[in-house]
């Protein structure tokens, strides 16, 4: 090997560029973050050929002095931190001071800026991918900064060969702009590609304007089927929008999570969200969400990766539990008949994605839950039944013993039905008939409701089984012969640290040596399960995330199977009172929009949709 020597500044910059500048989207990310940190309220992005030929980003931020331009193009030069204490509480998006130097080493970069409001005379600096003195010259420019990057990777052809098609590179670049647009509602963004306007997003100050931006970036269908979440505990605050379980995706392409305004990809966060959706999401599907976590900057380390996409929380277990509990509660609380919520409908009958709390006047994006149909009319608004609507049946709603047996042993007595149309119509309305022994047809204030009776009853029964289990506690049974499990010393320590957790879950695990555990007691519900593998999986979760729900999930699977077998089956004929009792229970049951397997339990066909089917009004 050659003797140790120092790398040239040019080669060092190109090596750094390999960490920071992967593709045109990487350039856009770094420059946009600098513009936001500079206090810009308007940022314009203009690119050609997917950003390979040209990236021009202009902002109206505070700008720079002429003497600052060479420093801005130097490595490890920054205005954002000056000490270790600053780094430990960094609040800016950028702070490393290597982005522009790295970009300039693999492109032809021009930096033009002006820091004065009363002058159009700015300064410009040029760097063309080689080790040279940066010359600064006067250039006209309003207050703010323009970064122009041409011919990316012109001097590193091997890197250029790894770029994809123009369309693919632009899609990555557009995604970066979308992320920052979701991160900073107070900044306006525009994006042009090959001279064609793609996005023009004005600054969003009000709640309604923020919702419109989210709908523009994520699609109106997301906002139509999203629940607004806002929860605070101690130093942690979580807010944003989570898609209803029926608005799921085949891939994880609509998931945005921001920590103090910085978009991140974090396995701890992903695990917490996955846990929250575990009971309601169809297998193989992915949830959609736009969520914002705010906490003291000192409680999160953002200096763990050159691209700043990853963070490390000081107390990962607390953050994990906070995110999980917040989302779990929000999804559980979503059910038919939430009071005071109404969804505005546009002239063509499509929902606008903005909801208004009729009691407080607050605008929210929490639809009244037409679960199965994105264009369905809202439920739970309390509007009067149209003329000629449902009349309550003359049949007494009181259930006979036979009806109770037919419906399910865990079912409570039904509340009396309204005696006249003048009373408020329940969100899921009143049963009209049963179709093919599978579906319940019901009429509510907005049209026709269709309910999969087995799926709905399955969820009701399942939730009651869980409530009964939680109320009575988890019953355990000792093993006649304790089961030895060979593990690592780290796993023995984890088992000792979380002995209380295992005990609450009905599992008694004792240490039998430096690398051995003994299972002495197991939950009765898991007596036929592979408890050894379950223990290993739980310990793995505890090591990675600081928590685990595998035992609860396994017991829930058993309860789900019991609920499935104990629910009304297809082709079971129900009476009108039985059907109405099922509808009322759905309105009171958590997660009633999906069965235990994540399938929707009901959908709504509004009068506008029915009119379109029959060409009425044309």
Lowest pLDDT segment from 113-127, 161-175, 310-324, 396-410: 396-410
CB neighbours of residue 374 within 10 Å? 17
The stretch 85-89 carries a mean pLDDT of: 75
Sign of CA dihedral 356, 359, 360, 366: negative
Spatial distance between the Cα atoms of 370 and 76, rounded to a whole number of angstroms: 53
Spatial distance between the Cα atoms of 264 and 305, rounded to a whole number of angstroms: 11
Spatial distance between the Cα atoms of 230 and 228, rounded to a whole number of angstroms: 7
In angstroms, the Cα distances linking 168 to 26, 48, 85, 302, 413 are: 14, 13, 40, 28, 59
Q: No. of H helices and E strands in the chain?
A: 19, 25
Is pLDDT of 230 > 90? yes
Is pLDDT of 386 > 90? no
CA torsion, ordered 549, 552, 555, 561, to nearest 10 deg:
-80
Spatial distance between the Cα atoms of 438 and 191, rounded to a whole number of angstroms: 50
Class of domain 423-618: alpha beta
- Would the CATH topology of 207-333 be identical to that of 423-618? no
Is pLDDT of 298 > 80? yes
Is pLDDT of 87 > 60? yes
pLDDT per residue as tens digits for the range 332-344: 888 775 533 333 3
Using 50, 70 and 90 to split pLDDT, how confident is the model at 388? very low
Spatial distance between the Cα atoms of 493 and 473, rounded to a whole number of angstroms: 27
Using 50, 70 and 90 to split pLDDT, how confident is the model at 307? low
Q: Is 132 exposed, middle or buried (0-12, 13-18, 19+ CB in 10 A)?
A: exposed
Enumerate residues 6+ apart whose C-beta is below 8 A from 286: 248, 249, 250, 251, 252, 253, 255
Enumerate residues 6+ apart whose C-beta is below 8 A from 290: 182, 214, 218, 226, 240, 241, 256
Is pLDDT of 153 > 70? yes
Spatial distance between the Cα atoms of 603 and 485, rounded to a whole number of angstroms: 49
Domain boundaries along the sequence of the chain: 9-201, 207-333, 423-618
Is pLDDT of 113 > 90? yes
Enumerate residues 6+ apart whose C-beta is below 8 A from 208: 354, 363
Spatial distance between the Cα atoms of 142 and 253, rounded to a whole number of angstroms: 38
- 183: number of CA atoms within 13 Å, CB side? 22
Is pLDDT of 16 > 80? no
Using 50, 70 and 90 to split pLDDT, how confident is the model at 390? very low
- pLDDT of the residue at 146: 97
Spatial distance between the Cα atoms of 136 and 463, rounded to a whole number of angstroms: 69
Q: Are 520 and 550 in contact (CB under 8 A)?
A: no
Residue 422 or residue 279, greater confidence: 279
pLDDT per residue as tens digits for the range 469-510: 888 777 889 998 999 999 999 999 999 998 888 888 788 999
Q: Which residues pair with 58 in a beta bridge?
A: 44, 146
Rounded to a whole number, what is the distance in angstroms from the first to the last CA of the chain? Answer: 84
In angstroms, the Cα distances linking 338 to 355, 380, 428, 570 are: 12, 6, 11, 29
Beta strands in 11-107 (DSSP E): 42-48, 54-59
Tell me which CATH code domain 207-333 carries: 3.30.230.10
Spatial distance between the Cα atoms of 370 and 493, rounded to a whole number of angstroms: 48
Q: Give me the long-range contacts of 463-466 (CB less than 8 A, separation at least 24).
A: 463/589, 463/590, 463/591, 464/410, 465/410, 465/559, 465/562, 465/563, 466/556, 466/559
pTM: 0.74
The stretch 26-48 carries a mean pLDDT of: 95
- pLDDT of the residue at 260: 92
Helix (H, G, I), strand (E, B) or coil at 509: strand
Q: Evaluate whether the domain defined by 9-201 bears CATH number 3.30.565.10.
A: yes
Using 50, 70 and 90 to split pLDDT, how confident is the model at 130? low
Is pLDDT of 210 > 90? yes
The 8-class DSSP code of residue 366 comes to: -
Spatial distance between the Cα atoms of 61 and 48, rounded to a whole number of angstroms: 24
Work out the percent of the chain whose per-residue pLDDT is above 70: 83
* 3-state class percentages of the chain: helix first, strand second, coil last, to nearest 5: 35, 25, 40
């Amino acid at each position: 090997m050659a003797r140790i020597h120092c790398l040239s500044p040019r080669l060092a910059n190109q090596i750094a560029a390999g960490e920071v500048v992967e593709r045109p989207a990487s350039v856009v990310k770094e420059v946009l973050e600098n513009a936001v940190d500079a206090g810009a309220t308007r940022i314009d992005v203009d690119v050609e050929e997917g950003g390979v030929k040209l990236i021009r980003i202009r902002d109206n931020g505070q700008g720079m002095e002429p003497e600052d331009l060479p420093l801005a193009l130097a490595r490890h030069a920054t205005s954002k931190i000056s000490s270790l204490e600053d780094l430990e509480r960094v609040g800016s998006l950028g702070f490393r001071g290597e982005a522009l130097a790295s970009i300039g080493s693999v492109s032809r970069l021009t930096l033009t800026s002006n820091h004065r409001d009363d002058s159009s005379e700015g300064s410009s600096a040029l760097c063309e991918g080689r080790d040279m003195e940066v010359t600064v010259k006067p250039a006209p420019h309003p207050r703010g900064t323009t970064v122009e990057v041409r011919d990316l990777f012109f001097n590193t052809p091997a890197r250029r060969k790894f770029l994809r098609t123009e369309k693919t590179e632009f899609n990555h670049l557009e995604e970066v702009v979308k992320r920052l647009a979701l991160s900073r509602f107070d900044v306006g963004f525009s994006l042009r590609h090959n001279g064609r306007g793609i996005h023009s997003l004005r600054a969003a100050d009000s709640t309604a304007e923020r919702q419109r931006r989210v709908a523009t970036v994520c699609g109106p269908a997301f906002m139509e089927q999203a629940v607004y979440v806002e929860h605070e505990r101690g130093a942690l605050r979580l807010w944003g929008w989570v898609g209803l379980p029926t608005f799921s995706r085949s891939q994880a392409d609509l998931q945005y999570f921001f920590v103090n305004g910085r978009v991140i990809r974090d396995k701890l966060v992903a695990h917490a969200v996955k846990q929250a959706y575990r009971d309601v999401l169809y297998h193989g599907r992915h949830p959609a969400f736009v969520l914002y976590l705010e906490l003291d900057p000192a409680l999160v380390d953002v200096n763990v990766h050159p691209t700043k996409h990853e963070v490390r929380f000081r107390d990962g277990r607390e953050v994990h539990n906070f995110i999980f509990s917040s989302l779990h509660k929000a999804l559980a609380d979503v059910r038919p008949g939430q009071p005071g919520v109404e969804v505005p409908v546009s002239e063509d009958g499509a929902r606008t994605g903005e909801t208004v709390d009729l009691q407080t006047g607050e605008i929210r994006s929490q639809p009244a839950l037409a679960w199965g149909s994105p264009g369905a009319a809202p439920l739970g608004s309390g509007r009067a039944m149209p003329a000629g609507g449902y009349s309550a049946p003359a049949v007494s709603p009181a259930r006979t013993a036979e009806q109770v047996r037919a419906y399910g042993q865990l079912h409570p007595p039904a509340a009396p039905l309204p005696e006249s149309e003048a009373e408020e119509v329940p969100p899921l309305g009143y049963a009209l008939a049963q179709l093919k022994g599978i579906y319940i047809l019901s009429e509510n204030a907005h049209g026709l409701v269709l309910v999969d009776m087995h799926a709905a009853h399955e969820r009701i029964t399942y939730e009651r089984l869980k409530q009964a289990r939680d109320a009575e506690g988890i019953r355990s049974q000792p093993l006649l012969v304790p089961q030895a499990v060979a593990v690592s010393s780290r796993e023995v320590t984890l088992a000792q640290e979380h002995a209380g957790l295992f005990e609450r879950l009905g599992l008694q695990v004792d240490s039998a040596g430096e690398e051995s555990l003994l299972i002495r007691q197991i939950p009765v519900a898991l007596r036929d399960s592979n408890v050894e593998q379950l223990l290993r999986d739980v310990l793995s979760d505890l090591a990675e995330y600081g928590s685990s729900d595998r035992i609860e999930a396994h017991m829930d699977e058993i309860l789900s199977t019991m609920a499935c077998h104990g629910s009304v089956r297809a082709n079971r004929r129900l009476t009108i009172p039985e059907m109405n009792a099922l509808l009322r229970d759905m309105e009171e049951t958590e997660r009633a929009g999906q069965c235990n397997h994540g399938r929707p339990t009901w959908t709504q066909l509004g009068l506008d949709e029915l009119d379109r089917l029959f060409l009425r009004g044309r």
